Structure 1
Amino acid sequence: MNASASRLLGAFLFSTAIIDPVSSAAAQSAKMATPTIPFAERKLANGLRVIAIRDTSTPDVTVSMWYEVGSKHDPAGRSGFAHLFEHILSRKTVNMPYNAINKMVDDIGGTRNASTWYDRTNYYETVPAQYLERMLWTHAERMARPVIDKEVFETERNVVKEELRQRVLAPPYGRLYSFALGENVYNVLPHRRPTIGSISDLDSATLEDARAFHEAFYGPDSATLIVSGNFQPAQLDALVNKYFAAIPRRARPASLAIKGKDQPLTGRRVNATGPNVPLPVVGSAWQTPGAASPDMAALEVLDGIFSRGDSNRLQTALVKPGLSTQPISRLNDTEEQGYYALMAIVASGGEPEVVATELDRALDALRKTGPTAAELTEAKNELLSAGLQEREVASSRAFTLGEGLVRTGDPRAADKRLAAITRVTAADVQRVARTILDPARRIELRYARGDGDAKGWANPTPLPRFSSPPPAAQPPLALLPEGQRQAPPAPGTPATYAMPSLTEVTLANGMKLVTARTGTVPLATLTVAIRAGSAVEPRGKAGLAAMVAEIASKGTTTRSADQIAAGLESLGAELSSSASLDGTVLSVTAPVATLPQAAEILGDILANATFPEEDFARERKRALDGLQVALKDPNQIGGRVLPAVLFGTAPYGAVPGGTPATLAALSRQDLASFRQTWWRPDLTTAFVSGGIDPAQARQLTDRALGRWRATGTVPALPADVAGSEQAPRTLVIDLPGAGQATVIAAVRGISRGDSAYYDALLANSILGGSSTGRLFQEIRVKRALSYGANSSLAAGLGGGTLSASASTKNESAAEVAQVFLEEFSRIGSEPLSAADVENRKTFMVGSFQRSLQSSAGFNANLAGAALRGVSPGEQLSYADRVRSVGGTAATSVMGRLLQPNRVSLIIVGDSSKFIDKLKALRPNVQIVPADKLDLATAGLASGQ
């Protein structure tokens, strides 16, 4: 990353696989080096396993605690309990008041979270390295001295119910993924129950259940501490001894082992339904062996052959013929047994059984003949490249090692997995296709619109009665009075950190190039940012810029879509593309050894994309089908109507991704003309970063992109992209039967070049920039009305937005809207405390520095700034600019932006459950039925 990058302790050992990439020119040999994860391991007398992964090139340290307790340990009648307990244990201890851990981490510039899976629950923080001791103290607090009381239990149960509504009940396919699949691929294993649980099981849980669960499952003898980043090994050992050695083992430990095993499935069909399902799903699912099985590597390669990248069998069998708008694969590996599901969303107008038949044929073909040599190479290289990305930054190494450990018991499992993938043969893939994916052992899946009754996906095998831990024997703990609490440890000495050094040049074709060495892992990213996005497309052709970015890789004058996809994937390269208001970004991440060839393909796409008619027609149809899905999801609808509410018919009012009418109006020639007009080297800045020297980056970019030439004069950008101020609106999109409502409050904001930008950024961070922002505190922490609430400052080249959003049950939508309005008024009128200002500065600087630590993140940061007129040097000076902001200026800019007569409200949900309360808050309400929503008109309703 900088001078310190060469001091990476325990330098990566490379396990090398020789892979033969297939390109359109010829087969070429490339060396794919996948670094192992060096670590030190020890075990305390109380059973706590400690793993240390040192990296002195980062200013941070990630401290994570992995309990081998997951949803498979949920008590009888308490599905979702391990996940609920994850929330509970994150909140309060004898020495930390409710939610103090969130504020503590934010205030030191860190980030934290927790998650639950079948096999584990983990809690983790990434913070500046000088706070290592403080984070170890918090983990010891939560392990040995948690407060599990009524306040925590009731609040977190309500939050989890909101999470379930948001992630499962509101999205069209949430019930399929979270309920129907697990219910049917397992019979007697406890994995059959959903990790997130059910509303009824959550309601039946008790505070006593939580205390019993903690005593039975949580202790040093069920945990592994993984520390990754910048630390001194001797100091870490001493601190671990200090905080954890005295914590006793569980007094009455519940067994972590899961007894029993599912017998092989017998084939049957499941017909499940959900409300607001726009397009049906068909597919099949099979049981798979445990994560430690030697067959897992072959299954991963098989899955890559079917689903990774664009050169895969599901694309060929289902997408290219127009049968499916989106294939879906799920290789769900757990310690005991997992499952593999291959599914497809049926394209509009299609016949589900036709799609199911073609999906079966694709599987049968693999069983009969196995994969080709090219398919095997592509899948392996994609998996090995993904392994490089998992090892690029210190925090990712901790998670990669941890996930392998809890699934297999082996801390080297992640490295062994990659080595096993390199050894997979075509015969191995064919064998697992025949044995594990036996047609007689599958569950056929059908999912369509209906009432969503669980009886539709009920497993005929009775659910076993699972065990429950005995009642808690220890007295409950309580928060100590303020004067008696132990203070968190003071910080140590900060780690040295310097921003990567930039090299900036202009190539002969007028394209700017910015390079920086940002790491030591042999992975790099090449990104091009073109200053032409949806703001330059004609209003009647909204979605044009996004469609150009999406379809550009479907063919050039010298390469077909198949050749492009196969060429990139054989190189282990990952191509992404997107269009925003102010520009278009294309990016390729690849091993350093193959980046030159991947860059050549990207250069061909930029200069010579032809948008073949067949590919254009298919992708436009897929985009239209995708809109059908999006317009059944409250969150998606809210995001699509917001621009029109704030910017009307101005360029910034364009609907992201287009509308059914505008997409239908597009032609292949529209795309070709847009690329010819706007994709020019003199409107482009390229960025190369990662484990690559600037000289090498310059050479490969010059070779791959230097021949790209522009013709004609540079087109003029629109003079006024934001247009005149729109009158505020209170808009309701009525979606009957929606599982949850989305609430948005928004105003027009400022441009990225506004002198008050950093002032507004700081104020927004206090308002809703994290879990300690005011909105999150008021809506989730104090009232448990939502899984989360936040605000966003989007500042473009010619204007921007400031918006707050949250998902909540329909009945509380108006209450959430009122909180938004109150907090808007407060942030713009009440002076900010000096402590709040300084803490948020630290939080913002820490977030920024973390965003630069991967090559893709580094490039994305600089590319996004470039599209908004900000130089790379200014973007890298972000920390200094944030530190110069004062509280008075932050309040002033918010007072100007958030005047009550400028605020629009948008609520998407079942209006019958909140409309009266909303009218009491804002009487002038416009109601648009979801089936009458017209994104192409300023009124957003048919006929307006």
Structure 2
Amino acid sequence: MIRKLLLAGAGALALAASGPALADHHQTAVEAPTLSAPKIEYTRWQLDNGLTVIAIPDNSTANVTTSLWYEVGSKHDPQGRSGFAHLFEHILSRKTVNMPYNMINRLTEDVGGVRNASTWVDRTNYYETVPAEYLEAMLWTHRERMANPVVDSEVFEKERSVVKEELRQRVLAPPYGRFQRFVIPENAFDVLPMRRPGIGSIEELDSATLDDARAFHQAFYGPDTATLIVAGNFEIASLRKLVDKYFADIPRRDNPVSLEIKGEEPVLTQPRIVNATAPNVPLPVVGGIWKAPSTNDPDAPAIELLSAIMSSGDNSRLHNALVRTGKAVDAAHFDQMSEDGGFIANFAVLSPGADSAEADAILAKEIERVRTEPVSEAELREAKNEIFSSALSQRQTAQGRAFELGEALVSSGDPDAADKRLDAIAAVTADDILRVARKWLRPEGEVELTYTAGEDDPSSYANPAPMPTFGSVPPPSGQPRAVLPEGERMAPPPPGEAPEVARADFVEATLANGIPLVSAQTSDVPIATITIVFPGGDATDPAAKAGLAEMTADLADKGTTQRDASQIAATLESLGASLNISSSADGTYASLTAPTVNLAEAGQVLVDVIVNASYPAEEVERERKRTLDSLTAILKDPGSLASLAATRVLYGDAPYGRVANPQSIEQIAREDLVAHREAYWHPGTAKIVISGGISAGEARALANSLFGGWTSDRPAPVPVDHPAGSEPAPRTVVIDIPDAGQAAVIAGVRTLARGDSDFYNLWLANTVLGSGSNGWLFEEVRTKRGLSYGAYSSLSQRSDTATLTANAQTKNDTADEVAAVFFEQFEKLAATPLSEETLQKRRLYLGGALARSLETSGGFNGQVATLMLRGIEPAEAFHVAERLAAVSPAEAQRVAERYLVPQDTSLVIVGDARYFLEDLEKMRGDVEVIPFDDLDLSRTELRKETAIEAAAE
């Protein structure tokens, strides 16, 4: 859990990167050939009104993805209105003349689909993936939003409130949110509009008006600024007719405003230093940024490869130079290029006590080295294979191909740009890398940055270059549209005929040594995943050594009796392979994904790690320190901390309640890791899943060659008895973090095990409560009240008693209000008879999500391995629809009434207590308030022992 949560802490920096992170002494492992990827096949045409249409047919899927890409992005935000393209993305998703508020959500989720939208520098896109028979209905919705949107005060005010909560959640609450969203763009650009944060600011969002939104739409949105990409199971001739029917009569913009961005970034001739400060920064950051060219520049492919060489994976330069030496918790070198320009950046999140000047000097040394010495052919080949492997993963599904093509298209104007990018990357030489490094990473062109704890002071990171005045748009014309009365609205078209799609053969076999194997060819794309799962997991941790199973998994690839950590990383990365080993409450998963041509060779490394992981002492100490440092960042993030605390509250001292904490991590010795692996990673309990672009016969032969001879003299491990333990009394816990950017709210109850006969009843009831955008929690918290970016509930799957939790993040002064909504909806679900129509919509929603996950090798393996881990037949993954169909409204209400009882519910809130505590106490009575400085996750009380004694006095 620690490494996963790190993405919300120090690892948040990696979210801005084009690739993973981080190395120094590059290891050469294998002479793997450079990979390739199949081309994206498509058909393209254009309507008279300027709408471009791209079709990517694929009859191997039962779904279709419709996506509309407008060449309108955050760079088009008007003067004084940063974040406006993003705000308008929210607005345009909501209402039209014929669709009341959020009807689009119901039209997708209620038939088993999913929808969303996103904004980037160069574009905004709106997309849905639904069963293929609903293609016409989705095209109708896109027509509605293009031709008949309703931009009125209701949608404007609600969505502005939601966007402000999104800003708090993604920027103000996480430790490094301001750095990523505010500090970097302010100093990466001088004259281009990307200098402003794409998400905007609270002040400029507050100053916006409804007329601003209407003007923005009229200026930029029309068929002449859009590309429709349809991917999935359809006939092109039918699609052409539908496109003509729904889009041909939509006129171009009346008074088009140019999409062109004027201005060119000046060359920086003198380096400068920026020392930024912000609250809630647990570990300092050092680094630098440089100007970069546009995506279409001939230098772009070499810059992308340079970034991969510097920091993609553990066999990269910055990882060895900073992370492996213990100087930094994380490090990243990345480029961010768009149609008009971009930047290159590298940063290190320092370990406590590390010398910032030394770390900065190491970064500078690595930059100078790549500017003065050619990279090796091995480094270059490895970086290329990592990029091609990523493309193979993306291209497993029609939706993935559509998104790759769309992203490349909007920044280039060329639908072949995605394939041309890969061709150009394949052609890059070491000399090209040296040339672009010298050109773009000039010492005099660097803006050096530090980011440390202090006041929220924008002046500390202000760019000395005057902020330019950006473009504006003409005032809106006409009056806002309104949703038609119910009897006058046009209904969406009914579904067509569902296509016949052959499901991938599902094959079960047994290896020579008795290990069960499940395999399926889920794709023709030449990439596959091997997953091996072992029961045990976090529940086996001794109380004083919580995090042992997780640490055993995390450090398994840091050395074996055959290979050291660098050799493991070098071999896998040169093969375009990725290895992920993680623990869960009930077991450990080891998953290897690789191009099929390299799967057997990469599989040998997987076997070596599973069987021979040796946990070298120096690696253990290094990673122990890194984990402790990561915890420092994680515990400052309200959402991450609330999750950890809720686990302790709901399970107490039981095995499921143990979470890694600073005290327990310190107690784990190298010998503990070896002993855990030897005891629990056992051939007698192992189960294997293989899927992707590999036949069942090939999968069986490969599995036998890799694992068929694996035996052990040790007895198979015995499962932990009743890891959930007895149910603790419900608690209301507030962890007080003064000046927290937002409050995280979690309400949770104990429920049942995955194998319980009531599981599907409760799963469906929970889906009504809080799954997706049509869940009751989302509707009440976000849609009606605008209190959060999202509110959801989840039912965990465990071998023993699991939990159902509702969660949301909100501004501090509405934390108690969100909690009250949670309890109201719990009571409502327990007391309200559900209709068969309501349940059927939620059945389709769950079934559709499962079907989509089974289309990729990673998704297939995850679903099947999770079942096998808990002793459930793998074929259950294909019987979900019939299991859900058997759930009656009475049974769903019965389990809701049994479990969703507010007085039996525990509540955890992490935030600035002064804003909500008084009202919370009126609602809940006895509230445990734990100052952050008194927090101790190793104790069920969640307080340090001295703090408990002080409170008692």
- TM-score, normalising length: structure 2: 0.96
Paired residue for 1:12?
A: none
Equivalence for 1:323: 327
Partner in structure 1 of residue 273 of structure 2: 269
Structure 1 residue identity aligned to 2:694: I
The alignment status of 1:234 with 2:237, answered yes or no, reads yes
Match for residue 140 of structure 2? Answer: 137
Distance in 2 separating the partners of 1:870 and 1:799: 16
1:201 aligns with 2:231: no
Please give the residue correspondences for 1:668-707 in structure 2 after superposition, counting only pairs within 5 Å.
668-707=670-709
Does structure 1 retain, via aligned residues, the 8 Å contact 2:303–2:433?
yes
CA distance in 1 between counterparts of 2:36 and 2:381 reads 15
Mapped to 2, the partners of 1:28 and 1:695 lie a distance apart of 27
Q: Could you give the per-residue CA deviations for residues 293-348 of structure 1, whole angstroms, max 9, x where no partner exists?
A: 11111111111111111100011100111000011233211101011111010011
CA shift in 2, pair 1:31/1:361, >3 Å: closer
For the structure 1 residues 640 and 26, does the alpha-carbon distance in structure 2 shift closer, same or farther, using more than 3 Å as the test?
Answer: closer
- TM-superposed CA distance for 1:500, in Å, is 2.3
Question: Map of 1:806-845 to 2, 5 A cutoff?
Answer: 806-845=808-847
Q: 1:359 aligns with which of 363, 367, 389?
A: 363
Compute the displacement of 1:24 (Å): 9.5
- SS of 2:858's equivalent in the other structure is helix
Give the superposition deviation at 1:714: 1.3
Shift in CA distance, 814/23, structure 1 to aligned 2, threshold 3 Å: closer
Pairwise CA distance, 1:707: 3.0
Counterpart pick for 2:589 among 585, 592, 612: 585
What TM-score comes out, normalization by structure 1 length? Answer: 0.97
Does the Cα contact within 8 Å between 1:143 and 1:218 map onto a contact in 2?
yes
- Is 1:189 aligned to residue 192 of structure 2? yes
Cα deviation, residue 879, structure 1:
1.8
Map of 1:621 onto structure 2: 625
Which sections of structure 1, spanning at least 5 residues, go unmatched? 1-21
Aligned match of 1:540 in 531, 537, 544?
544
SS at structure 2 position matched to 1:525 = strand
AA aligned to 2:433 is V
1:508 aligns with 2:512: yes
Q: Could you say which residue in structure 1 is the equivalent of 2:779?
A: 777
Distance 1:387 1:497 in 2: 25
State how far apart, in whole Å, the 2-side matches of 1:395 and 1:333 are. Answer: 23
Task: State the match for 2:915 in structure 1.
Answer: 913
* Secondary structure class of the residue paired with 1:912: helix
Report the CA distance between 1:235 and its aligned residue: 0.6
Q: Distance in 1 between matches of 2:755 and 2:262?
A: 62
- d(CA) in 1 for partners of 2:336, 2:446: 15
**Distance of 1:228 and 1:407 partners within structure 2:** 20
* Paired residues of 1:55 and 1:394 also in contact (CA < 8 A): yes
User: Structure 2 counterpart of 1:832, which letter?
Assistant: L
Measured against aligned partners, the alpha-carbon deviations of 1:333-378 in whole angstroms (never above 9, x if no partner) come to 1101011111010011111111111111111111121211211111
Q: Counterpart of 1:876?
A: 878
Q: Percent identity?
A: 52
- What is the correspondence of 1:101-180 to structure 2 with a 5 Å cutoff? 101-180=104-183
Q: Deviations over 1:175-208 (max 9, x none)?
A: 0000000001101111101110000000000000
Give the counterpart letter for 2:567 in structure 1. Answer: Q
Take 1:892 and 1:727, find their aligned partners in 2: how far apart are those partners? 22
Tell me how far 1:146 sits from its aligned partner: 0.3
2:349 is aligned to 345
Separation in 1, partners of 2:915, 2:614: 50
Deviations 1:710-760 (A, max 9, x none): 222112111111111100000000010100000010001110010000000
- Structure 1 residue matching 2:286: 3-state secondary structure: strand
Q: CA offset at residue 709 of structure 1? A: 2.0
Aligned residues of 1:600 and 1:705 also touching (Cα < 8 A): no
Gaps of 5+ in 2: 1-24, 949-953
Structure 2 equivalent of residue 416 of structure 1: 420
Farther off after superposition, 78-87 or 825-834? 825-834
Tell whether the 8 Å contact from 2:34 to 2:384 is kept in structure 1 after alignment. no
Which residue in 2 is equivalent to 1:13?
Answer: none
Letter of the 2:710 counterpart:
W
- State the distance in 2 between where 1:715 and 1:244 align: 62
Show the 5 A alignment for 1:250-399: 250-265=253-268, 266-399=270-403
2:494 and 2:937 map into 1 onto residues whose CA distance is: 54
One-letter code aligned to 2:468: P
Q: Aligned partners of 1:27 and 1:598: how far apart in 2? A: 10
Alpha-carbon shift at residue 475 of structure 1 (Å): 2.7
Which structure 1 residue ranges, 4+ long, deviate > 3 Å from structure 2? 22-31
Q: Which residue of 1 aligns with 2:714?
A: 712
Amino acid at match of 1:777: E
1:849 is displaced (CA, Å) by 0.2
Give 1:419 shift. 0.8
| Aligned-partner residue type, residue 142 of structure 1 | R
- Is contact 2:731–2:907 with CA below 8 Å preserved after alignment? yes
| In structure 1, C-alpha distance between the alignment counterparts of 2:195 and 2:680, rounded to whole Å | 52
Matched residue, 1:793: 795
1:478 Cα deviation from its structure 2 partner: 0.9
Aligned to 1:767: 769
Question: Whole-Å Cα distance in 2 between the matches of residues 299 and 576 of structure 1?
Answer: 27
Partner of 1:14: none
One-letter code of the match for 2:241?
A
- C-alpha contact (below 8 Å) 2:32/2:575 kept by paired residues: no
Match of 2:758 among 756, 759, 784: 756
Please give the alpha-carbon distance, in whole angstroms, between the structure 1 residues aligned to 2:622 and 2:117. Answer: 40
SS of equivalent residue, structure 1 residue 91: coil
Answer whether contact 2:535 2:719 (CA < 8 A) is retained. no
| Number of residue equivalences | 921
What SS does the corresponding residue of 1:795 show, helix, strand or coil? coil
Q: Quote the residue 1:885 is aligned against.
A: 887
SS of the equivalent of 1:396 reads helix
Please list the CA deviations of residues 412-459 of structure 1 after superposition, one character each: whole Å capped at 9, or x if unmatched.
Answer: 111011111111111111111111111110111100001121111111
Describe the superposition over 1:571-630 as per-residue Cα deviations: whole angstroms up to 9, x where unpaired.
Answer: 000111110000001111111100000111000101000001111111111110110000
Q: Which moved more, 1:469-478 or 1:237-246?
A: 469-478
* CA deviation vs aligned residue, 1:831-884 (integer Å, no higher than 9, x gap): 101211111111111111001111111101111222222221122211221122
Cα offsets for 1:527-579 (capped at 9, x unmatched): 11111200011111101111111110011111111111000001000111110
**Equivalent pair of 1:23/1:570 in contact (CA under 8 Å):** no
Measured against aligned partners, the alpha-carbon deviations of 1:507-536 in whole angstroms (never above 9, x if no partner) come to 233321111111111111111111120001
- The amino acid of 1:470's aligned partner reads P
For residues 321 and 28 of structure 2, the distance between their equivalents in structure 1, rounded to whole angstroms, comes to 26
Give CA deviations for 1:195-240 in whole Å, capped at 9, x if unaligned: 1000000000000000100000000000000000001101100000
1:64 maps to 2:67: yes
Within 1, Cα distance between the matches of 2:495 and 2:922?
50
Aligned to 2:929: 927
Post-superposition Cα deviations, 1:779-805, rounded to whole Å, max 9, x if no partner, equal 000000000000000020011000000
The aligned counterpart of 2:867 is 865
* TM superposition shift of 1:42: 0.3
Deviation at 1:123, TM superposition (A): 0.2
> Aligned to 1:682, what secondary structure does the other structure show?
coil
Offset from partner CA, 1:134-154 (integer Å, 9 cap, x none) = 000100100110000000000
Partner in structure 2 of residue 16 of structure 1: none
In structure 2, how many angstroms separate the alpha carbons of the residues matched to 1:766 and 1:673?
Answer: 44
Describe the superposition over 1:469-523 as per-residue Cα deviations: whole angstroms up to 9, x where unpaired: 1111233211111100000001100122343222112223332111111111111
- Following superposition, the deviation at residue 899 of structure 1 comes to 2.0
CA contact (8 A) 1:749 1:794 kept: no
Q: Which amino acid aligns with 1:804?
A: A
Letter in 1 for 2:706: A
Change (3 A) 1:30 1:372: closer
Match of 1:902 in 2: 904
User: Counterpart in 2 of 1:493?
Assistant: 497
